[in-house]
């Protein structure tokens, strides 16, 4: 049987002779250094650079006009209409994708937790959406599914209408009529299998004897779910929400591919807006300032997230 947290280890390791403590300490740290140095150089230094650039007026279309402007870019970031829309879109996009895929993933995990004919095959087919390359998936939804003229959605509608004797189905241009839902649906399709996998692992780690005891005591399926399964799943649900949020907040592929942020800026999320500021408007200072604000926001969210993760292996830490 598997558990989310490691069982507490037996008593603390035997005290080692003090004599070599100094050497040993350093010898133990050596294996850490390459990865630490590499990570600091490649991930932390760029942020220092971002911080510096964010205090400059710097548009590469106006060469020779690069100068220090202090916090002006930040003032711009906090007052710009487009950026505010982008923040809102990011929240809407992330929250709806994560919540819907957790709910659908929970439903699928509950179904797949039971034995039925072809369960293994069903699980295999279900994880496929998560394994399709995100850019490929986005193009697939844009052209093969949402396209008003020959997409699968309208095509199916058409076929159904003809089946019932009507001439033709309605021609809905899904992406321009429902831009945000179109992006959300394609992402939910990609992320539901991820949630399902994590929640299925949680369900299968349920202690069998407790479930058995509940059944013997005559608890209804609903009561068992509410009082035993759901509390047990809580950690797994939190983990799913957390990891899902980290990845979905950064969504770039789907927005770039399906809607290019449009129509207008209806589906422009923060990563895409920063990308536009950088590579379309060439406003490096503003892009950097927006980046800094995003990092600060992420740190706030990450603080909560790290606490959740810390609780996941609290028992192991206590060894």
What residues from 88 to 117 belong to the interface with other proteins (CB under 8 A)?
107-108, 111-112, 114-117
Phi and psi torsions of 120, nearest 5°:
-60, -45
To which H or E segment does residue 160 belong?
helix 152-163
To which H or E segment does residue 309 belong?
helix 284-312
Binding other proteins (rule: CB under 8 A), the pick from 84, 124, 230, 281 is 124
Stretch that binds other proteins, among 95-103, 147-155, 173-181, 225-233 (CB under 8 A): 147-155
> Cβ closer to other proteins: 82 or 123?
123
Burial of 90 (0-12, 13-18, 19+ CB in 10 A): buried
- Spell out, one character per residue from 260 to 279, where the chain touches other proteins: x when CB under 8 A holds, - when not: ----------xx--xx--xx
CB atoms near residue 2 (< 10 Å): 7
Q: How far is the CB of 307 from other proteins (least distance, A)?
A: 10
* Pair of tokens at residue 269: 């999320």
- Spell out, one character per residue from 181 to 200, where the chain touches other proteins: x when CB under 8 A holds, - when not: --------x--xxx--xx-x
315 and 8 Cβ atoms separated by less than 8 Å: yes
Name the DSSP class of 67: E
Binding other proteins (rule: CB under 8 A), the pick from 155, 176, 211, 237 is 155
- End-to-end CA gap in the chain: 21
Phi and psi torsions of 85, nearest 5°:
-60, -40
Binding other proteins (rule: CB under 8 A), the pick from 86, 102, 183, 253 is 253
> Cβ closer to other proteins: 160 or 223?
160
Give, as ranges, the residues between 50 and 89 that touch other proteins (CB under 8 A).
Answer: 50, 53
What does the alpha-carbon distance between residue 259 and residue 313 come to, in Å, rounded to a whole number? 41
Stretch that binds other proteins, among 63-71, 213-221, 222-230, 291-299 (CB under 8 A): 291-299
What does the alpha-carbon distance between residue 199 and residue 237 come to, in Å, rounded to a whole number? 7
Q: How far is the CB of 44 from other proteins (least distance, A)?
A: 8
Give, as ranges, the residues between 229 and 248 that touch other proteins (CB under 8 A).
Answer: 236, 239, 243, 246
Q: Does 295 bind other proteins (CB under 8 A)?
A: yes
Give, as ranges, the residues between 7 and 36 that touch other proteins (CB under 8 A).
Answer: 9-10, 25, 28-32, 34-36
């Amino acid at each position: 049987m598997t558990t989310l947290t490691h069982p507490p280890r037996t008593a603390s390791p035997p005290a080692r002779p003090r004599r070599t403590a100094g050497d040993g300490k350093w010898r133990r740290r050596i294996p850490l250094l390459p990865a630490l140095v590499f990570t600091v150089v490649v991930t932390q230094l760029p942020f220092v650079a971002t911080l510096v650039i964010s205090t400059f007026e710097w548009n590469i279309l106006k060469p020779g006009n690069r100068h220090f402007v202090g916090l002006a870019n930040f003032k711009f970031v906090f007052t710009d209409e487009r950026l505010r829309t982008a923040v809102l879109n990011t929240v809407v996009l992330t929250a709806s994708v994560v919540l819907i895929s957790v709910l659908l993933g929970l439903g699928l995990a509950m179904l797949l937790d039971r034995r039925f004919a072809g369960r293994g095959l069903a699980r295999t087919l279900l994880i496929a959406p998560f394994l399709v390359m995100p850019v490929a998936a986005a193009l697939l939804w844009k052209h093969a599914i949402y396209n008003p003229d020959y997409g699968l959605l309208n095509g199916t509608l058409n076929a159904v209408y003809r089946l019932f004797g009507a001439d033709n189905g309605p021609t809905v241009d899904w992406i321009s009529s429902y831009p945000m839902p179109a992006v959300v649906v394609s992402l939910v399709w990609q992320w539901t299998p991820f949630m399902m996998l994590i929640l299925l692992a949680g369900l299968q780690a349920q202690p069998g004897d407790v479930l058995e005891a509940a059944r013997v005591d005559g608890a209804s399926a609903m009561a068992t779910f509410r009082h035993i399964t759901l509390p047990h799943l809580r950690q797994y649900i939190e983990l799913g929400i957390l990891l899902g949020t980290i990845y979905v907040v950064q969504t770039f592929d789907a927005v770039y591919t399906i809607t290019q942020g449009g129509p207008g800026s209806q589906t422009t999320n923060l990563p895409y807006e920063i990308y536009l500021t950088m590579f379309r408007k060439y406003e490096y200072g503003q892009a950097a300032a927006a980046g800094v604000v995003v990092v600060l926001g992420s740190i706030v969210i990450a603080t909560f997230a790290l606490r959740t993760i810390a609780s996941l292996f609290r028992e192991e830490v206590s060894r």
